[in-house]
Structures are given as structure tokens and as C-alpha cells.
A and B are shown apart, each in its own frame.
Chain A
């Protein structure tokens, strides 16, 4: 990447972060909502038999990995909304007419969204961990856990941008968010271990990329169990790269479709 393209990516990154910070209501809601879910689910299912490994911290600690995944999922699914706004104001067309090009714009935006989501998920995690009574954590697994969540955030943000460029309307984005978020969340291991799910749901959860990040968090960060990177990294990396590539192709074709 040349200095010019790196500079263009940086400029879009700064713009995207600044726009997020200037909207305190959605930012606050995106933090308050997972904490509310954590409290409600934590109390509602406090007697849910998640197993002896969760004696310390209980269900609230168990579900924390799922709530952090939910924070990432819900936030990433709305990544494309700012693209719709840029389409409506004509800014996207103007940005794409600069020498920087669509790939720099997409990369800067995705990097900003992923880092914001990681910051939000980390904050939710620390608050949730405190609410669960500060059970023991195994910090050596933190980098791998963050990477897994970040790859999922990248994949789903890219998918959201892809849908935005295709749908081109807030209504289309809203349909995507409502249609996809809940099924993805509830067919993962966010709220229950796969061993306690009905068979068909356990199979779906095993294929759900969100489960990979959640299970890695629980086993590595919460329980100090070794998790082979080959079990999660290739799948999440391939998913993220594939969806970023599809979004990149869609950005490059955006103007042609308009013409």
C-alpha cells in the first residue's frame, strides 16, 4: 500500500470514528442494551444448569461471552447504515470520484467499525465481569479471543456494507438487520451450551461462526482450557476475507450500476 492510499484509509478511519462519537444516543444505547440483556438473562436463567465449571460467576458469567458477541453482531449489522446516509447525501459518489478509490474507503470504514466494536465489546465485558463478581480470568487467552471477535466483526460489517450497497435504502437495511440478527444470535451458543440444545439447534450452532468466538472466549479466557487455533482461525479468517472481498467488488461496481 502506498503512502497516499494509507493516508486515504486513515482519513476515512478518522471520519468514521468521529461520526460515531458525535452520535451519543446510538452509542449509549449500543452499550446499555447488552448490559440490560446481561442483567435480564443473568437473573432469568440464574438456575440454568450450565455445569460445575460455572460455579464461580454462575450463568451471568457464562452468558457474558454471548452478550459480548451480541454487542459485536448488532453493531456490525448496522455498519452499512452510514453508507446509505452517504449515498443519500451524494457524498459516497463524490468520494468514489477521488483518486483514492473504493477500496481505500471500504478499508478505512471497516477498520474504524471493527475497532469501535472491539472497544464497545471490551467495555461491556469489563462491566459484565464486575456484575458477575469478578470471577477468575486467564488473560493469556485474551489476544486470541479479541482476534476471533474482531474477525467476526470484520466479516459481519463487510456483509452489512454489501447489503447497504445493494439495498441502497434505510428500509432495505432495516429488513436485513431484523431478519438476520436474532437468528444468528439464537442459533449460536450465546445463551446455552450446545450440549443442552435440541439436536438440530446444536448442529446449527456448530456451523455458526459466532459460536467459534463465544466458545473460544469461554474455554480460553474463562476456563484456561487450550483451544487449538486450527479449530477457529481458518474458518473465521476465510469468512472475513470472503465477505470483505465481496464488499470490495460491490463498491468497485457501484458506480457502473449507477450509470
Chain B
């Protein structure tokens, strides 16, 4: 983990636009500054199109920025280094699961790809499944899981490699109360062990209850940041 005083995520004057037609551009982020320290859960809130997903994707190295600086654990996320990919997990809002695999096979595959050592892999897999209440559904094909269980599996994958930085896009969408409880408990455990998370959400109550800081975005700009 990085030293507690160094920001795990640091963004300065970050700008990103998308082409819209031949001559027009839509600005998704404009001159955004943000720091996220270790041991912090930061909620990103804002209306649709405020720039939450773009920010998360830029920090995951999934998009390239137009201008400004971005550092995650001291590295430029656009470099997509293997070291950074091992320490940063991005969970998209859209589910990314193979419907023909079982939940166990899915967790086992991503566990191997995340670099979990083989001797302890099964224990790590069961631990991840338990954390999200999936232990009774491990032998079911993804196609047969309910929407909420798919979301839990989608989230559980992110924790398999013990990442330091979590970038979660609407992680509670489609989760029932029990699923949400599991998620926030896991996130609080992640924070206690020195990690940090940036969580995009539309649920202000949820953000108020669990986050250490709430960052409001509006049309790609940071309009308000409130620490709790």
C-alpha cells in the first residue's frame, strides 16, 4: 500500500471530450482536480452525463485523456502497466460475465488471471464468494443467476486479486438490500486494510451513510466536495 499521506489517486486539470458528429465535441470532463488518499471511500455523485463514468474509465486506463494529469499509485493509468493492473480494479456498470460459465469457473478464471497463487486460490475464491453471499450459487451457470446475483459475481471478481484501488461504477444497481450490505461491508474491510475506493452512485443516502467524502460532479466539473 502507498504511504497514508500520499494520494492513491491524484488528478489535475483533467479534461476529456468525445467527438459528436464531424465538427462538434461533447465535453465529459473539464479541468477536474481530485485527490483520493488511502483508507478513504469516496462517493462520486451527479446527474447522468456528469462525467462519473468517464473519470473512472480514465483512471482505469480504459480511456485516454485529452489534457491534464492523472496518477494512480504514482503511475499514469494510460500506460496500463501490468503492475498497475494488478493493483487497480475497475468494475463497469454493465455486467461483463460469460453466461455459459458457472460462478465458480468465473471466479477461478479471474483468480488465475489476477495472479492469485495456486495453493491458496480455492480458499481465496470461497472467501470472495462468501463475502458477496454467493457460496450457494457457485455451481450455477451465470445465465441462470438472477440479475442481483450476477451483479454480486461481477463485483466479487474485482476483489480476487486484492487490489489497492477500487473504481466502481454504480455497484449497487440491481442489488437487493442484502447485496448492498455485503458490498459496503467488503468496501469497509478494504478501507480498513489500507485500500481506497472511488464509487460512482446515484444514491445519495447510501453515499451519506458509507462514504468518507462525497464529490459532486456537474457537466464534467467538480462543483462540491464534502468530507465527513
Report A's interface with B, CB cutoff 8 A.
4, 7-8, 10-12, 15, 18-19, 22, 86, 89-91, 93-95, 97-101, 104, 255-256, 258-259
Contacts and interface: CB of A to CB of B under 8 A. Distances in A.
A91 B97 CA distance: 6
Interface string B71-104: 0000000001011011000101011111111000
A10 B109 CA distance: 10
Contact of B115 (A4, A22, A93, A259): A4
Interface of B, secondary structure class, is loop
Summarize A's interface: helix, strand, loop or mixed: helix
A94 B82 contact: no
B100 A11 contact: no
Contacts of B27: none
Nearest to B78: A259
A94 B167 CA distance: 13
A100 B105 contact: no
B17 interface: no
A98 B161 contact: yes
Contact of A255 (B62, B96, B118): B62
B184 interface: no
Interface centre among A10, A18, A94, A104 (most CB of B within 10 A): A94
A118 B139 CA distance: 30
B157 interface: yes
30 contacts: A4-B115, A8-B115, A10-B112, A11-B112, A15-B105, A15-B109, A19-B98, A19-B101, A86-B98, A89-B96, A89-B97, A89-B99, A90-B92, A90-B97, A93-B62, A93-B96, A94-B92, A94-B110, A97-B62, A97-B85, A98-B85, A98-B110, A99-B82, A99-B86, A99-B114, A100-B112, A100-B113, A101-B82, A256-B64, A259-B63
